[in-house]
């Protein structure tokens, strides 16, 4: 019996060590926020829950859990490390279909400029391309998002708490500026 336990231990310990190394904790060096739960949800393609978790993580990273929503100043100062981790996870687990770095090029291609409100029709075209508008209208509720890979490129994450008629143009334009500053979705 002692020999059997020794054999099991010799086989089991290296396996556990390699798993721990592969599944290293994803923690932001800037904020200390853990991204392990998001990685788990995305690895299981639980897009709806991952989208909700993304909002929670952005609130944690910005220190706005109590408020429950991000204001313009929060978008302007979101830590780059946290945005990079979130984006990398979404891109990786969706095969390049979802992520902030997928959304930003579409935002730019449709004539929008980060940090500047240019043209409402350009932002509407962006909303149409990523599926945040349906039949010419902004979707109001996150339940109307498509939580599958059948959705348009860049459809997720869309971690807004409040959905407005305007599609939150100023918020996203400000957020897009932060993505550029953090070099997320920007070609060198």
User: In the chain, helix, strand, coil percent, each to 5?
Assistant: 55, 5, 40
pLDDT digit string, tens, across residues 59-82: 999 999 999 888 899 999 999 999
Domains in the chain: boundaries: 36-181
Kind of pairing, strands 137-138 and 133-134? Answer: antiparallel
pLDDT digit string, tens, across residues 83-121: 999 999 999 999 999 999 999 999 999 999 999 988 899
CA dist 187 and 177 (Å) reads: 14
Confidence of residue 162 (pLDDT cuts 50, 70, 90): low
| pTM of the predicted model as reported, rounded to 2 decimal places | 0.84
């Amino acid at each position: 019996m002692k020999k059997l336990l020794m054999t099991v231990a010799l086989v089991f310990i290296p396996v556990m060590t390699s798993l721990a190394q592969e599944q290293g904790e994803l923690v932001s060096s800037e904020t200390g926020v853990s991204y392990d739960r998001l990685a788990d949800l995305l690895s299981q393609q639980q897009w709806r829950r991952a989208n909700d978790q993304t909002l929670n993580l952005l609130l944690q990273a910005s220190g706005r859990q109590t408020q429950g929503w991000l204001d313009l100043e929060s978008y302007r100062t979101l830590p780059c490390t946290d945005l990079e981790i979130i984006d990398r996870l979404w891109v990786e687990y969706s095969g390049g279909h979802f992520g902030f770095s997928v959304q930003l090029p579409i935002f730019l291609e449709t004539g929008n400029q980060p940090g500047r409100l240019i043209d409402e029709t350009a932002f509407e075209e962006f909303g149409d391309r990523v599926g945040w508008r349906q039949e010419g209208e902004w979707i109001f509720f996150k339940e109307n998002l498509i939580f599958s890979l059948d959705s348009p490129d860049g459809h997720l994450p869309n971690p807004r708490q409040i959905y407005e008629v305007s599609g939150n143009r100023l918020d996203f334009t400000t957020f897009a500026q932060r993505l550029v500053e953090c070099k997320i979705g920007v070609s060198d």
